[in-house]
Amino acid sequence: MTGEPAGSNEALFARAQAVIPGGVNSPVRAFRAVGGTPYFVARGEGPYVWDVEGTRYVDLVQSYGAVIAGHAHPRIVEAVTRAAAEGTSFGAPTEREVLLAEAIAERVPSCEKVRLVSSGTEATMSAVRLARGATGRDAVVKFAGGYHGHGDALLAESGSGVALLDADESGTVPGSAGVPAGAVADTTIAAYNRVPRLDGRVACVIVEPIAANMGLVPPRPGFLAELRAECDRVGALLVFDEVITGFRVARGGAQELSGIRPDLSCFGKVIGGGLNIGAFGGRADLMDHLAPLGPVYQAGTLSGNPLATAAGLAALDLLDAAAYETLGDRAARFGRGLQDAFDAAGLTARALVAASLVGLHLGPDDPVDYETARRTDESAYASLFHALLRRGVALAPGAYEVLFPGLAHDDALLEAVVDQVAEAAAEVARGGWPRS
The residues that bridge with 202 in the sheet, in sequence order, are 139
Task: Give the pLDDT mean for 258-273.
Answer: 98
The pLDDT assigned to 432 comes to 57
Would you call 113 a catalytic residue per the annotation? no
Q: Which tens digits make up the pLDDT trace of 186-243?
A: 999 999 999 999 999 999 999 999 999 999 999 999 999 999 999 999 999 999 999 9
| Catalytic residue of the set 59, 241, 369, 377 | 241
pLDDT, tens only, 334-385? 999 999 999 999 999 999 999 999 999 999 999 999 999 999 999 999 999 9
Q: What is the pLDDT of residue 175?
A: 87
Q: What is the rounded average pLDDT of the residues 397-410?
A: 97
The active-site residue, picked from 48, 57, 147, 400, is 147
More confident residue, 142 or 432: 142
What confidence score (pLDDT) does residue 268 get? Answer: 97
Q: Domain coordinates of the chain in residue numbers?
A: 9-60+320-430, 74-318
Judge whether 269 counts as a catalytic residue.
Answer: yes
Active-site residue, selected from the candidate residues 59, 263, 269, 381: 269
- Select 74-318's CATH number: 3.30.420.40, 3.10.580.10, 3.40.640.10, 3.40.50.720: 3.40.640.10
Dump pLDDT digits (tens) for 281-320.
999 999 999 999 999 999 999 999 999 999 999 999 999 9
Mean pLDDT computed over 251-259: 98
Give pTM, 2 decimals.
0.94
In CATH terms, the fold of domain 9-60+320-430 is: Aspartate Aminotransferase, domain 1 (3.90.1150)
Position 1 pLDDT exceeds 90: no
Q: Is residue 167 very low, low, confident or very high in pLDDT (cuts 50, 70, 90)? A: very low
